[in-house]
Structure 1
Amino acid sequence: MPPKTSCIPRFRDLDVASRRRLLAEMCGIDERELDALLDSGGIGAATADSMVENAVGTLALPFGVALNFRVNGADYLVPMAIEEPSVIAAASHASKRVRAGGGFHATADEPLMAAQVEVHEVPDPPAAARRLGDAREELLQAANSAAPGLGARGGGARDLEVRDLGSGFVLVQVLVHVCDAMGANLLNTIAEALGPRVAALAGGAMGLRILSNYCDRRLVHASARIPVEAFGCARAGGREAALGVVNASRFAELDTHRAVTHNKGIMNGIDAVAIATGNDFRAVEAAAHAYASRGGTYGPLATWRLVDGGETLEGRLTVPLSLGTVGGALRTHPGARLALRLLDVRSASELAMVAASAGLATNLSALRALATEGIQRGHMALHHRATR
């Protein structure tokens, strides 16, 4: 097997069969394993029927591999499932530029998610909040008893918060370390187990018991630094192109309408990785946009600046990401399992760092195109190819 690298020159010029052979060789897998991605999109009618209700068939998406990614010193072939032309090419091109500055650097917070128990018609919310706070250890122990497998893997309930929401509503929120899972089923199990006791302590009517998809304790941070001298193109020099990216970033910071489109470009990369790996991209989207609004107005998730006396273009992205490498669709979808094999990540946090880097890459590529040649030139060329 050749050394692991994400740089494959002229990969796009190969036909599909040749790409599959080369990918199998580089990743050390049997080419027949890639058959999971043929024709049916990885699943047949019987599997689809086991995954959703009222199934009548499947709807496939193109599954591609973004190249040139280096994150925290390691190379990754990044699987992406998406219907939009140019996104995979854009991610690959931007990542090649970022390699000139050492690649992407990323960190991930602990995978903490919140299980929520809501109680309403509480006659004395302040007193209820005190009783619930005093029962903290009891409730945490009950949470861990409801999901014993988490503790065996090093996870489990970590903290408990109580909030008086007003209008007779009191909320108990349990923060749970979900290890390598996205965590939805685990959190729902914990919330439902705690519901009756929380309602009794609060003295009100038991309401909703469910996870929160707003994983603001599960943030991922990605950054990229590119030498300005390596950022030019035929239509703009390096400094001109870099200044264009910085000004586009500032525009997104000043205008909500632009910030929405700016963030859509980021989610092009993140969602494509989430879908390819069988993750819940709707949860990812909801959390990202809530985080973009955390200050009271909607703003960009990534910003770009010139640093080092104007010699380096630096981008920084922070986004909440609840991705898993176990459970969910991975149990039934062979295409999603294959995507994780191609990616070769060892934890959900590592997957999240790669996905965030993909988001920063697609953002950079879009801003660079806007600042130099306009977004339509490359995008529409690929669109026309797809619709011929």
Structure 2
Amino acid sequence: MSNEQWSHGFYKLTPAQRRQILGEQYHLNIADQELLEKNSSALGNDLVENYITDYSLPEGVVTGLLVNGKTYTLPMVVEEPSVIAAANNGAQRVARSGGFIADHQPRALVGQVVLDQIKDPQRTIEWLKDHQNDLLKIANDAHPSMQKRGGGAKQLRIRQVGRFISVDLLIDVCQAMGANTVNTMAEAVAHYLSENGNNVVTAILSNYATESLQTVSCQVNFAQLATKQMSGEVVAQRIADLSELAQVDPYRAATHNKGIMNGIDAALIASGNDWRAIESGANAYASRDGQYRGLSTWQIVDDHLEGQLTLPMPVGVVGGSIGLKKLTKLNYQLSSIKTAQELAAVITSLGLAQNLAAIRALATTGIQAGHMKLQYRSLAISVGAQQNEIDQLVKKLGQQQHVDQNVAKEILATMRKESTNE
């Protein structure tokens, strides 16, 4: 059977039927098919199309994350061994220096309705300004429940971008992620504008959430940065230098920002939020002045290191899949986070903690020292080490100048031989 034959109408089949077809087409053995079935769920089939199974990732927590005087335990979901370790490292150093300060900032999403084929741009802009109250009412009438909760479309912004005119609806979505709300409102306005003779190109949420910026800052005492080989002041200066480099070199900035998003993405997944939306907004914000830059900055002030991070953080505590997954609900219980504003503050603080740990490692021992120790655990598992063998194998791998899968297999075999001889 060709791919075209079996893929047509694939979404109409049951998960079991899909697994059977895939098993036959790709010659999956019985163990493989049982693995897919064992990890399947009714909820998964309701959430995505062409569902066959659930793919799980490890969940851990960062503890002692001190934000605005409150200590948080924040769940993180990630497959990378060093991420949660680094998050805890950074969080503890900042907590011992007083914690993170997160400003309470306005929160709104942007719905874009874009017009094209405009004969007289200035006249169109004037017409839009004259009808802005009507447009806001149309938007709110499309989703009246949001306005009843104190939210809704609050403001209209008109931008001329090239040959296009963008009608931006600034919408308060209260505690929700809000994408569906914004799209519904934008489409209602688009329909009205089309009826009034305008050519609408698109009507959709923008993930560049400049009306949902979150800023966090911290001070880190030099003593919390010191190593056995370097004073805290020397480490702080190296961190400040690396921060400056990330402001002028996009090659360094991309990796700098990846370190920030390591923690943020993991926390977003655990909270049920759309991490892809936050990623796209963060990277757009990093390029806001025409050059891609590091999202955080670090500088020495008096006798301490000061860090600051600002990025779009339009998260929610309701909506989407948040209320559907039991584990996501449990994660909110673990974190004790109740509002979207609180979640934005805590997750952004986590990003700065993650960044501190990564950049401190880079400024001192190098990123590989701690990173590889955790990677060796993954390598040990991949070559078949049992639970009681992992720690010993990791220790032995750390003593090698060159490590790969063959080396790990050889050491494991030697360990088992020695154990048998005993």
Scaled by the length of structure 1, the TM-score of the pair is 0.86
- Pick one of 360, 369, 375 that aligns with 2:361: 369
Q: Deviations over 1:360-387 (max 9, x none)?
A: 0110000100111000010010011122
**Identity fraction in percent:** 43
Please give the residue correspondences for 1:255-270 in structure 2 after superposition, counting only pairs within 5 Å. Answer: 255-270=249-264
**Which position in structure 2 is the counterpart of 1:110?**
106
Check whether the contact 1:67–1:92 (CA below 8 A) recurs between aligned residues.
Answer: yes
- Pick one of 171, 179, 183 that aligns with 1:184: 179
Select the structure with the greater relative contact order (CA < 8 A; seq sep ≥ 6).
Answer: 1
**Which position in structure 2 is the counterpart of 1:360?**
352
- Pick one of 38, 43, 60 that aligns with 2:56: 60
CA distance in structure 2 between the aligned counterparts of 1:275 and 1:47, rounded to whole angstroms: 17
Please give the residue correspondences for 1:166-245 in structure 2 after superposition, counting only pairs within 5 Å. Answer: 166-167=162-163, 169-201=164-196, 203-245=197-239
Scaled by the length of structure 2, the TM-score of the pair is 0.79
Q: Say which one has the larger Rg.
A: 2
CA distance in structure 2 between the aligned counterparts of 1:241 and 1:263, rounded to whole angstroms: 20
Secondary structure at the aligned position of 2:217 is classed as: strand
Compute the displacement of 1:207 (Å).
Answer: 2.2
Q: CA RMSD in A?
A: 1.5
Please give the residue correspondences for 1:281-300 in structure 2 after superposition, counting only pairs within 5 Å. Answer: 281-300=275-294
> Any gaps of 5 or more consecutive residues in structure 2?
1-34, 381-422
2:50 is aligned with 1:50: no
CA distance in structure 2 between the aligned counterparts of 1:270 and 1:211, rounded to whole angstroms: 21
- Paired residue type of 1:326: V
Check whether the contact 2:332–2:338 (CA below 8 A) recurs between aligned residues.
Answer: no
CA distance in structure 1 between the aligned counterparts of 2:229 and 2:86, rounded to whole angstroms: 17
2:94 is aligned with 1:98: yes
Secondary structure at the aligned position of 2:160 is classed as: strand
CA distance in structure 2 between the aligned counterparts of 1:263 and 1:307, rounded to whole angstroms: 23
Compute the displacement of 1:170 (Å).
Answer: 2.3
CA distance in structure 2 between the aligned counterparts of 1:245 and 1:337, rounded to whole angstroms: 37
2:313 is aligned with 1:324: no
2:145 is aligned with 1:130: no
**Which position in structure 2 is the counterpart of 1:21?**
none
- Paired residue type of 1:314: E
- Pick one of 153, 159, 178 that aligns with 1:163: 159
Check whether the contact 1:71–1:103 (CA below 8 A) recurs between aligned residues.
Answer: yes
Q: Deviations over 1:150-206 (max 9, x none)?
A: 112111111101223333x322111001111111000000011111212344x3322
CA distance in structure 2 between the aligned counterparts of 1:258 and 1:365, rounded to whole angstroms: 16
CA distance in structure 1 between the aligned counterparts of 2:224 and 2:262, rounded to whole angstroms: 25
Compute the displacement of 1:44 (Å).
Answer: 4.6
**Which position in structure 2 is the counterpart of 1:248?**
242
Compute the displacement of 1:237 (Å).
Answer: 1.7
- Paired residue type of 1:305: Q
- Paired residue type of 2:238: G
> Any gaps of 5 or more consecutive residues in structure 1?
1-38
Structure 1 segments, 4+ long, off by >4 Å, are: none
CA distance in structure 1 between the aligned counterparts of 2:133 and 2:321, rounded to whole angstroms: 34
2:343 is aligned with 1:347: no
**Which position in structure 1 is the counterpart of 2:304?**
312
Compute the displacement of 1:101 (Å).
Answer: 1.6
- Paired residue type of 2:342: E
Check whether the contact 2:158–2:168 (CA below 8 A) recurs between aligned residues.
Answer: yes
Compute the displacement of 1:79 (Å).
Answer: 0.6
Larger deviation, residues 230-239 vs 348-357: 230-239
CA distance in structure 2 between the aligned counterparts of 1:358 and 1:75, rounded to whole angstroms: 12
- Paired residue type of 2:187: E
2:330 is aligned with 1:334: no
Check whether the contact 1:117–1:209 (CA below 8 A) recurs between aligned residues.
Answer: yes
Secondary structure at the aligned position of 2:322 is classed as: helix
CA distance in structure 1 between the aligned counterparts of 2:108 and 2:224, rounded to whole angstroms: 39
CA distance in structure 2 between the aligned counterparts of 1:118 and 1:248, rounded to whole angstroms: 40
Check whether the contact 1:224–1:316 (CA below 8 A) recurs between aligned residues.
Answer: yes
How many equivalent residue pairs? 344
- Paired residue type of 1:134: D
Larger deviation, residues 74-83 vs 151-160: 151-160
CA distance in structure 1 between the aligned counterparts of 2:161 and 2:93, rounded to whole angstroms: 48
- Pick one of 136, 141, 145 that aligns with 1:145: 141
Secondary structure at the aligned position of 2:332 is classed as: helix
Secondary structure at the aligned position of 1:249 is classed as: helix
Check whether the contact 1:70–1:99 (CA below 8 A) recurs between aligned residues.
Answer: yes
Check whether the contact 2:69–2:99 (CA below 8 A) recurs between aligned residues.
Answer: yes
Q: Deviations over 1:37-89 (max 9, x none)?
A: xx99xx85211111110011011111000112110000100110011111111
Q: Deviations over 1:210-260 (max 9, x none)?
A: 111110110000111011123212232211211111111111112110000
CA distance in structure 1 between the aligned counterparts of 2:349 and 2:162, rounded to whole angstroms: 40
Secondary structure at the aligned position of 1:127 is classed as: helix
